[in-house]
Structure 1
Amino acid sequence: MTLTAGLDARLDRIGTDRRYVIVPMDHGITLGPVTGLKDIESTIDAVTRGGADAVLTQRGIAPRVHSSKNDAGYIVHLNASTTIGPDENDKRLTGTVEDAIRAGADAVSFHINVGSTHEPGQLEDLSKLTSAADRFGIPVLAMAYARGPDVAGDDPEALGHAVRLAEEVGADIVKTGYSGDADSFEHVVEATRLPVVIAGGSRGTDRQTLEMVRGAVDAGGAGVSMGRSIFQHEDPEGIARAVAAVVHEDRDVDEALELGGLALEV
């Protein structure tokens, strides 16, 4: 979309030179108060000291964010579901752009499951959200996943469709799953002009996490929006520093592990 001065300024607040290390911590509504989220203030302090450009929560957590984020950016997520409800893929609206602005957000985000039975309603809601955000110059991070009964979540063709959908309806940044290797992820990045950031998915070893980040960056990706792999880590500051070293300093995996003070496991 055409950048306004406000939109441009807010994109600068949630990234560095159009690269992004975002740590979503909206999982309390989905999973409950899991490890890393009970004392969310300490976790936010740690990941932002480690180099996260921005953190992301639901709007009700905003009072706990601002005093802890060390001048990092803040993104408010605007839909959700729970793991104990009837269908986790059925994400429903939890707020508006105006709510996010009142909560002090620099940007908003929205989750859409492309290929699911809930895609039509989520597509409509995302389109309305981008229109509303555009009126205020607020960036929209679309979390566009390939998820559905006939969709493989790591299929580069499906992921490419998902990220292109985000651009078509007016998002400014798009988050999606990783296809498994740099070569296949190039197709995903090339499917859109938007900056593409990857989700962390299920937590692996530190090396696996950083190899995934390295592959995404090598394919032309713009960084990460990585939750549990960072906020549930035994050393959230260290892993955030290591991820930021790959995204912002173009470090290799071993260098990043060392900079993060993490074990150089094989």
Structure 2
Amino acid sequence: LAFDQAITASVKDALRLGCTAIGFTIYPGSAKCLDMIEEACEIITEAKSYGLAAVLWSYPRGEGISKEGETAVDIISYAAHIAALLGANIIKVKLPTIHLEKEKIKTENIKSLSKRIEYIKKSCFAGKR
């Protein structure tokens, strides 16, 4: 499957409608990931030039990620990090599970959901954006 999305409105539409933010979804790990990142970067840059906030949904999936891996704490932290790099003001990811897909991290530090969320927040410039 090639995950992608349609752009249904422009930043100018958002301004005309009185919106305070724009939203975009990316699928890290998918075949179209790089295209989506480039699109998101352009749209977020334009939105911010007009003072709009950016909400980015970052949902990992694709050939190199197992179904269980789509919510693995290491994969989710990478998806959140990509969204932060793109300049998202609000980042939406799935709640992370304790499963590890690729990375070796100390699992005793991520046993509780609150610790996993803390780990995800640290991957987004430690919340300093």
Q: If the TM-score is normalised by the length of the shorter chain, which range does it land in?
A: 0.7 to 0.9
Partners of 2:84 and 2:126 lie apart in 1 by 7
Q: Distance in 1 between matches of 2:24 and 2:62?
A: 17
Q: Does 1:135 align with 2:49?
A: yes
Q: Deviation digits for residues 161-185 of structure 1, max 9, x if unmatched?
A: 1111111122111110101323323
1:121 shift after superposition: 0.9
- Deviation for aligned residue 1:136: 0.3
Q: Give the alignment partner of residue 102 of structure 1, picking from 13, 16, 24.
A: 16
Aligned partner of 2:31 among 99, 113, 117: 117
Cα deviation code 1:176-213 (max 9, x no counterpart)? 01013233232211101486xxxxxxxxxxxxxxxxxx
Q: Which runs of 5+ in 1 are unaligned?
A: 1-86, 196-266
Code of the residue aligned with 1:166 in structure 2: it is: A
2:64 matched residue in structure 1? 150
Q: Residue 174 of structure 1 contacts residue 194 of structure 1 at CA under 8 Å; is this kept in 2?
A: no
Residue aligned with 2:70, SS: coil
Question: Any residues of structure 2 matched to 1:77-226 within 5 Å, and which?
Answer: 89-151=3-65, 152-180=69-97, 181-193=113-125
Q: Relative to total residues, which structure has the larger strand share, 1 or 2?
A: 1
Identity %: 23
Task: Compute the TM-score of the two structures, normalised by the length of structure 1.
Answer: 0.39
1:57 corresponds to: none
Q: How many residue pairs are counted as aligned between the two chains?
A: 109
Q: Which runs of 5+ in 2 are unaligned?
A: 98-112
Alpha carbons of structure 1 residues 95 and 105: separation in structure 2 relative to 1, 3 Å: same
Task: State the AA in 2 paired with 1:190.
Answer: K
Q: TM-score, normalised by structure 2?
A: 0.76
1:154–1:177 CA contact under 8 A, matched in 2 = yes
Residues 1:149 and 1:171: Cα distance change in structure 2 (over 3 Å): same
> Please, what is the CA RMSD of the aligned residues?
1.8
Distance between the aligned counterparts of 1:125 and 1:89, measured in 2? 14
> What's the secondary structure of 2:91's corresponding residue?
strand
